[in-house]
Amino acid sequence: MSGGRFGLKLWLVLAAALLLAPRAPALTLAEAWQAAEAHDRPLAAARAAAGVAEPQRQQARALWRPQVALTASAGLGASDTRMHGAQFSAPGMGTVEGADFATSVHGGAATRVALQASQPLYNPVRRAQQQQLELQAEQTELALQAERQSAMLRTASSYLSLALAQEKLRVLQGQMQAVDSAARQAQDRFDLGAAPITAVHEAAAELARLKAQLASAQADITTRMRTLADATGLPPGRLTVQLPAAARPEPRALALWQQLAEGASLQLREQRLQTRLAQAELDKYAAGSRASVDLIAQAAHERLGGHGDFGAARNTGLNAMVGVQLTLPLSTGGMRSGRAQEAAARLAAAQAQEDALREQLAREIEAAWLAMHTSVEQGMALQAALGASRLREDATHTGYELGERTLLDVLRARNDVAATQLQLAQARAGGVLARLQLAERAGQLDEAALQDASTPPGQGTNPSTP
């Protein structure tokens, strides 16, 4: 028995130390996000991926800029040119009929230099490619915005989970103090012969149960603290958090939130871009059979020199051209039509996914809206229940002092108070999280929403404190 009493005292000393030890100011939800924004790994990956947006826009603009190419070649070449029956004339020599010309070079040095420039004037394929690149850039930036809001929601969820775990530990510590006091009273009354031994055993059993719950609660805090520390990069010693105030009732109707989400939801906007990308891909292959027009300019210099059948020879050519080039695709052997059919199927799939996402988003908006309003109603009901439970506990304790109630009745009343405290904390945390989820689904989650959710309850008191 003495060993058990020593263990109980040790638990109470630890609990008192946790309650009375000086703590750093509680970290607010907004402060937790400020730390997580620079440390969240998925957000950092999305930020790095968004770096391709500007290069994609550069590619889209480059599709309609002049393209210039310079080619140069050198090697061994051969040439054999013969002409019979030509007419030849020269000043002072008259005209010669049936003239023959011949020249040849075997294994001579050949060089060629060519400069070519082209400017697209009309090209449906390039137009579709430009649209694709611009849509891809926009989609990349939207993905970053969506990931940032998801990171906010992850941080808020981790923060509230830790706050609930710390609140549970605080409630358990208060229970242990109250039950230890009741156990000492039961022992004293038994020693005086004023109470049965069953009261002592009931108190001891309740203390043992609370010790087990306290150990589990402390382990839960350690786990949740590590999760928040990983997200924020802050040391666990700084992660003293606090449950925010209960979410205020949302004045806007559900229909207004769904209408807002229809135009601002980042997930829905991303899927719409995916549908437009699929449409641009189909347009690209449909335009593949259309003519294209380019403004071109080219100049080339060719030279071949060496020895041939008639001795040393050198051929030199220089040509240049500026004009318009028309290109009309005729046949690709079925490749173009096959790819167009594939693009059409992908477009149909993207449109179906957009419709499915719109329905899913409407359900999620409704669920978050209802959860927020329900938590507000639960909070008010549980606040009243908490007051009634405390009055019941006081009355039960008075009845125990007068001999009209048993210690077990007192312990049950105390447990009801603790359970109501935790239910109230869960309702308030659930309401705050539901409001943030509603904002995230509608594309409205930002620092202002987190700051609003960071308001501490009752000037910094815990939500279940009397």
Find the CATH number of the domain harbouring 377. Answer: 1.20.1600.10
Count CA within 13 A, CB hemisphere, residue 116. Answer: 11
- Whether pLDDT at 461 is above 60: no
Nearest to 209 by CA among 395, 382, 418: 418
Alpha-carbon gap, residue 275 to 349, rounded angstroms: 9
186 lies in some domain: yes
Which of 56 and 410 is assigned the larger pLDDT?
56
CB contact set of 258 (below 8 Å; sequence gap of 6+): 362, 365, 366
Provide the 3-class DSSP secondary structure of residue 156: helix
What number is the average pLDDT over the span 378-392?
Answer: 92
**Residue 7 within a domain:** no
pLDDT at 311: 76
* Domain assignment of residue 157, yes or no: yes
98 pLDDT higher than 90: no
**What share of the chain in percent tops pLDDT 70?**
91
Res 175: pLDDT: 86
Per-residue model confidence (pLDDT) at position 290: 84
Q: Can you spell out the DSSP letters for 365-410?
A: HHHHHHHHHHHHHHHHHHHHHHHHHHHHHHHHHHHHHTTSS-HHHH
- Please name the residue that has the structure tokens 């509680």: 26
For residue 401, the enclosing domain spans: 28-65+123-291+328-453
3-state secondary structure of 102: strand
Q: Is residue 158 part of a domain?
A: yes
Q: Quick check: 296 pLDDT over 50? A: yes
Q: What is the pLDDT of residues 235-287, one digit of tens each?
A: 887 788 888 877 676 678 889 999 999 999 999 999 999 999 999 999 888 88
Mean pLDDT on 79-87:
79
Model pLDDT, residue 339? 87
- What is the per-residue pLDDT for 1? 41
273 CB contacts (<8 Å, ≥6 apart)? Answer: 135, 138, 139, 142
Give the pLDDT score at 20.
45
- DSSP conformation class of 250: P
Give how many domains the chain has, as a whole number: 1
Mean pLDDT (whole number) for 442-460: 77
Of 17-21, 97-101, 274-278, 308-312, highest mean pLDDT: 274-278
| pLDDT over 50 (residue 464) | no
127 found inside a domain: yes
- d(Cα 182, Cα 381) in Å, to the nearest integer? 29
> How far is 344 from 346, CA to CA, in rounded Å?
5
User: What is the pLDDT, as a whole number, of residue 457?
Assistant: 56
The per-residue pLDDT of the chain, averaged, comes to: 85
pLDDT for the residue 48? 93
Mean pLDDT of 70-90: 83
111 domain-assigned: no
Whether the CB-CB separation of 37 and 233 falls below 8 Å is answered with: no
Residue 164 domain flag: yes
pLDDT surpassing 80 at residue 6: no
75: tokens are: 């090697």
Exposed/middle/buried for residue 357 (C-beta within 10 Å: 0-12, 13-18, 19+)? middle
Residue 462 pLDDT exceeds 90: no
Q: Is the pLDDT of residue 212 over 50?
A: yes
Q: Is the pTM of this model over 0.85?
A: no
Give the closest residue to 179 by CA, choosing from 203, 149, 209, 161.
Answer: 203
- What residues contact residue 113 under an 8 Å CB cut-off, 6+ apart? 70, 71, 72, 300, 301
Among 243-247, 361-365, 378-382, the range scoring the smallest mean pLDDT is 243-247
User: Given a cut of 70, is residue 7 above it in pLDDT?
Assistant: no
Q: Would residue 366 count as lying in a domain?
A: yes
Whether 191 has a pLDDT exceeding 80, the answer reads no
